[in-house]
Structure 1
Amino acid sequence: MSQPTESREEAIKRLTESASALEARTAREVSQDAAGQAAASQAWRIIADLLGGVFVGLALGFVVDKLLGTNPWGLIGGVLLGFAISIWMAWRTAQRITAQAKASGVEPKSVPFDDEEED
């Protein structure tokens, strides 16, 4: 016994419904993955700010030591100055990220306090 063939319009309607259901299932997964990637990107940006400031200060201190012959004070001062600037840059980046999150209406999830001590 052969199955009744469905009309072209019914087949298109059925395929459209299947495609819509598939899109609804995958859209949520993609948005969660994109949020995770954005958070990781922001974290790497802050780490780069911290390391970059120290390395730039180290390089400038080395150059000052070679030009002025102030071993090791130029290097020490450069590292300290680079560290201070990198902390300031990381703080500024964190403030900008926080302001963007507040403007978009995203409420950060709090991490529950774990009062159990690990042995």
Structure 2
Amino acid sequence: MSLPPESREEAIKRLTESASALEARTTREASNEAAGQAAAGQAWRIIADLFGGVFVGLALGAIVDWYFHTNPWGLIGGVLLGFAVSVWMAWSTAQRLMAQAKASGVEPKSVPFDDDEED
């Protein structure tokens, strides 16, 4: 059974609607990809805060030990202080990012539970 012939205007209208739907779908996928890249960048920023604070504390502790001859107490104190500062910086960065997400009205997606544990 053959389809009834459609007019030129109906065919153009149908093709325009299909093109609009395709464009909307690809634009949404591109914006999701950009959002994923932004989230990855923010995660790397938090990781850099964590490692940077510890390494700066380590360096400052080593300088204190070298200058005041207090081995190993300056190094230990520097690492502990650097760790505390890095945790505080990571926490404040995460709080700022969550406030921005709430202000933009974006709901965070839940991560599915992976129960593929091997006994």
Task: Identify whether the pair has TM-score above 0.5, normalized to the shorter chain.
Answer: yes
State the distance in 1 between where 2:112 and 2:20 align.
Answer: 37
User: How many positions carry a matched residue from both structures?
Assistant: 107
Deviation at 1:28, TM superposition (A): 1.4
Match of residue 4 from structure 1 = none
- Partner Cα distance (2:25, 2:115) in 1: 37
Give the superposed CA RMSD. Answer: 2.4
Query: Normalising by the residue count of structure 1, what TM-score does the alignment of the two structures yield?
Result: 0.77
Is 1:91 equivalent to 2:96 in the alignment?
Answer: no
* Shift in Å, 1:19: 6.5
| Counterpart code for 2:105 | G
Structure 1 position 102, deviation (Å): 0.3
User: Which letter does structure 2 place at the counterpart of 1:27?
Assistant: T
- Residues 11-30 of structure 1 mapped to structure 2, 5 A cutoff: 17=16, 20=20, 23-30=23-30
Deviation for aligned residue 1:111 = 3.0
In the alignment, what sits opposite 2:74? 74
Q: For structure 1, which segment, 93-102 or 104-113, has the greater mean C-alpha deviation from structure 2 after superposition? A: 104-113
Query: Any unmatched runs of 5+ in structure 2?
Result: 1-8
Which residues of 2 match residues 38-57 of structure 1 at below 5 A? 38-57=38-57
Residue 102 of structure 1 corresponds to which residue in structure 2?
102
Deviations 1:21-77 (A, max 9, x none): 553342112101001101101100000000000000000000000000000000000
CA–CA separation in structure 1 for the residues paired with 2:40 and 2:72: 37
- Unaligned stretches of 5+ in structure 1? 1-9
Q: Deviations over 1:64-100 (max 9, x none)?
A: 0000000000000000000000000000000000000
TM-score (norm 2): 0.77
**Aligned residue number for residue 32 of structure 2:** 32
1:20 CA displacement: 4.7
Which letter does structure 1 place at the counterpart of 2:46?
I
Equivalent position amino acid for 1:59 in 2: A
Q: Say which is worse superposed, 22-31 or 76-85, in terms of deviation.
A: 22-31
Q: SS at the partner of 1:80? A: helix
Aligned-pair identity in percent equals: 80
- Comparing 103-112 with 83-92, greater Cα deviation is found at 103-112
